[in-house]
Amino acid sequence: MPLNFYIETVGCQMNVLDSELAAASLMEAGYQPVSAKRYADVILFNTCSVRQHAEDKVYSELGRLKHWKDQKPDAIIAVMGCMAQKDKETIFRRAPHVDIVLGPGQLRQLPEIVKSVEKKREKRLEISLDRIDGKQSDVRESFQQFNPQRNLRVGSNPYQAMVRIMFGCDKFCSYCIVPSVRGPEQSRPPREIEAEIRQLADQGRLEVTLIGQTVNSYRYSEGGKTWRLQDLFAMIQEIDGIRRIRFVTNYPTGMTDELLQAVRDIPKVTPFLHIPVQSGSNSVLRRMKRRYTAEEYRDLLDRIYATIPDAAVTSDFIVGFCGETDEEFQQTVDLVKYGRFKNSFIFKYSVRPGTKAAELFQDDVPDSVKRKRNNELLAVQNAISMELNREFIGKTVEILVEGISKTAAKSCDLLQIDPPPSQLSVQLTGHTPCDRIVVFDAASEQHRQLIGRILPATITHAAPFTLFGKLIE
Ligand code: 5AD
Ligand code: SF4
């Protein structure tokens, strides 16, 4: 009997992709995916360490599984991802019923390790070297690349795919744990990226999202040529079948004019730019060890809107960073107003042991103040998002139709079956090149033909995070 597995994923898109690839490699080895933990023989947690809260949730979930494992002693529990790399054997101490701890640079070994635990019933800990634990080249090698065959059956949507173009991060922002748990920055060879995208195009994917911690630092030298992100765009432009190219995440100083012009000039590249700024205050940016000033970021915004007038820019912010005063926070509010971001992700600062900020500064902004600033900034941002979305009313946009809208799917339980004949229309969802979600009605008998196509629609209504439209016949 093949074993069933279930992967629970938290964290960023890097983790979402890792889980997809881990699932594909387990299926290749004969394991079967199941839709809920209770049906699984192997439960895998793909974890995140960016904030304390994400770790606490995994530890409490692991605690709850103790009883389950007592009842099912042959079951296997694995902790993968950033928390595995950061906490190492501490995970076995805090949750002795865990069998496998596997860092993000060791996922290639997953099927073999699950198999060996199944047979030998011995715990396994496999992690990469800490960044100070060896020669740079040894550390780099210890973060193994993991690019198994893609499987159309896994992943949230058969028309889109994420493609990793680089691993790790070398920026060392003072608050951030990523450079220590994801290892040194390493760009993937362009030929490998091309081969993977050709394969995805053959599977019918229309949109690829190039992912990495700072994709605009992409750099790969071979045969006397150095490839940058814009060179990858030009290469993917030539791949038949792929209609849209997206890319996340960008570091502000890497947004060169050449890159912006490439976004403008290469037709398949979407005008969607995620460029986290984190704070609008120069003193805070300095403490965060970000390598630009608020003025430089404003200049960047000016350059973006001058080059790509329909650009949709999004950002991340951390509120309540060590020593953040009301004035410093106010500068962030001002920047949000100036930026006209499509949306922003706002986080309360969370101390990460082992980072420079944890060593140098006090986490002295009370949680109540962090919460208040978070809500205030979100309110300012939401008003802007609403305003920008309202500007779409009456306009025509191209939407990649993904499927039945989640709320509609849930209420009708329609994910796998056609809508009942009594229902005349069904609500579909898709997104625009600037990454706005559009919801629209389609006749129930024809909705299946629309899914997986790029179609024009007129926008009729707007909400802060959703546009509502009508397909153009
Ligand atoms: N506390 C809060 N937010 C953080 N981020 C990274 N590290 C921390 C931290 N210690 C946020 C940043 C980053 C996003 C992915 O997570 O805004 O851009
Ligand atoms: Fe973390 Fe900064 Fe690297 Fe982003 S650029 S992953 S915030 S260290």
Q: pLDDT at position 444, please?
A: 83
Which ligand 2 atom is nearest residue 177's CA?
A: 1
Q: According to the model, what pLDDT value does residue 405 have?
A: 85
Q: Work out which ligand 1 atom sits closest to the CA atom of 249.
A: 18
Closest ligand to the CA of 13:
1
Average pLDDT over residues 63-85: 95
Instruction: Verify whether ligand 1 is closer than 6 Å to residue 220 (CB atom).
Output: no
CATH number corresponding to 142-390: 3.80.30.20
pLDDT digits (tens, 9 = 90+) for 370-381: 999 999 999 999
Residues 321 and 349: beta-carbon distance below 8 Å = yes
pLDDT in tens, 171-230: 999 999 999 999 999 999 999 999 999 999 999 999 999 999 999 999 999 999 999 999
Ligand positioned closest to the Cα atom of 51: 1
pLDDT at residue 365, rounded to an integer: 98
Confirm or reject: Cβ of 50 under 6 Å from ligand 1. Answer: yes
278 lines ligand 1 (CB under 6 A): yes
Q: How far does the centroid of ligand 1 lie from the alpha carbon of residue 348, in Å?
A: 8
Q: In the prediction, which pLDDT does 10 show? A: 94
Average pLDDT, the chain: 94
| Best of 48, 51, 86, 314 for a ligand 1 pocket test (most atoms within 8 Å of beta carbon) | 51
Cβ–ligand 1 contact at 176 (below 6 Å): yes
The residue whose CA has the least distance to atom 14 of ligand 1 is: 316
Residue 153 pLDDT grade (very low, low, confident, very high; cuts 50, 70, 90): confident
Q: What is the pLDDT of residue 316?
A: 98
> Which region among 282-291, 416-425, 436-445 has the lowest average model confidence (pLDDT)?
416-425
Tokens at 144, concatenated: 């193994």
Identify which of 56, 176, 346 to mutate to test ligand 1's pocket (most ligand atoms within 8 A of the CB): 176
For residues 428-440, average pLDDT? 96
pLDDT at 406 over 90: no
Question: Which atom of ligand 1 lies closest to the CA of 177?
Answer: 7
The answer to whether the CB of 175 is under 6 A from ligand 1 is yes
Give the pLDDT mean for 105-127. Answer: 94
Average pLDDT over residues 246-268: 98
Distance 261 CA to ligand 2 centre (A): 25
Average pLDDT over residues 273-281: 98
State the pLDDT at residue 18.
95
What is the predicted pLDDT for the residue at 341?
98
Question: Which range is least confidently modeled, 2-6, 203-207, 373-377, 384-388?
Answer: 2-6
Instruction: Show the ligand 2 pocket: residues with CB < 6 angstroms.
Output: 169, 171-173, 176, 178-179, 213-214, 251
> pTM for the full model?
0.94
Give me ligand 2 centre to Cα 171, in Å: 6
CA of 168 to the centre of ligand 2 (A): 9
Taking residues 402-427, report their average pLDDT: 63
Does pLDDT of 322 surpass 90? yes
pLDDT digit string (tens) for 438-461? 999 998 888 889 999 999 999 999
Q: What average pLDDT score do residues 460-466 get?
A: 93
Tell me how far the alpha carbon of residue 16 lies from the centroid of ligand 1, in angstroms: 17
Q: Which ligand is nearest to the CA of 274?
A: 1
Give the atom of ligand 2 at the shortest distance from the alpha carbon of 176.
1
Ligand 1 geometric centre to CA of 103 (Å) = 20
User: Which of 138-142, 221-225, 320-324, 458-462 is least confident?
Assistant: 138-142
* Nearest CA, atom 7, ligand 1: 176
- Nearest residue by C-alpha to atom 1 in ligand 2: 176
Does the pLDDT at position 37 exceed 80? yes
CA of 429 relative to ligand 1 center, distance in Å = 29
Mean pLDDT of 388-406: 94
314 lines ligand 1 (CB under 6 A): no
Quick check: 416 pLDDT over 70? no
352-370 tens-digit pLDDT: 999 999 999 999 999 999 9
Ligand 1 center to 406 CA (angstroms): 28
Supply the pLDDT for residue 132.
84
Q: Which fold has domain 4-133?
A: Rossmann fold (3.40.50)
Q: Which atom number of ligand 2 is nearest to the Cα of residue 172?
A: 8
Structure tokens given for 37: 């933990």
Which pLDDT belongs to residue 414? 41
